[in-house]
Amino acid sequence: MLDRRTFENTFRDHHAACLAFAVHYTGDLHEAEEVVQQVFLRLWEKRETIDVTGAMRSYLFAAIRNTAISNWRKETVRQEKEQVAGDLHAAGGQAQSPAWELERMYHRALEVLPDRCREVFILSRQQQLKYAEIADVMNISVKTVENQMGKALKIMHKELKEYLHVLLL
């Protein structure tokens, strides 16, 4: 558990190093500041349940790295979706929105998944739960979650070959 004073000391002691580390991953000071802010906000929000057993700096650096990578992926996906939507629009001039068409194909592929697979996939990819959290919610083992996710990803890959890089990152 992290009390207010410990959090403030952690912020004061590690903020500069965290910012420098984040700049290494993002290459942009503004983006690095955003990543560090996200990490410290998450740390504060989870202060009641968080248990940092190792060095705090190592924990923060790992969180910064993961957040920076996650933000980069989200931005890449957003840009790719815009590109695909633009390509679809330019190619067909269809009456339906390209974004709507991608969404429709994604949901059609979800329907192909077996029920348990679909539920695991949605909890992981849409609700962003960790495998252990999914296991708790569904009352199954983490290994079962891993197996179901593997199966779901294989099926989704087959169903969405053209748009996999856009939809699943």
Q: What is the CATH number that goes with domain 1-81?
A: 1.10.1740.10
> 96-168, which class in CATH?
mainly alpha
pLDDT tens series, the chain, 169 aa: 778 898 899 899 999 999 999 998 888 899 999 999 999 999 999 888 877 767 888 889 989 998 988 888 888 777 777 776 666 666 555 445 556 767 788 788 888 999 999 999 988 888 888 999 889 888 899 999 999 999 999 988 888 877 655 554 4
Q: Give residue 106's pLDDT.
A: 79
Non-local (6+) Cβ contacts of 11 within 8 A are 40
Q: Using an 8 Å Cβ cutoff, are 152 and 158 in contact?
A: no
What are the extents of the domains in the chain? 1-81, 96-168
pTM, two decimals, is: 0.50
Q: Using an 8 Å Cβ cutoff, are 115 and 155 in contact?
A: no
Among residues 119, 108, 104, the alpha carbon closest in space to that of 152 is found at: 119
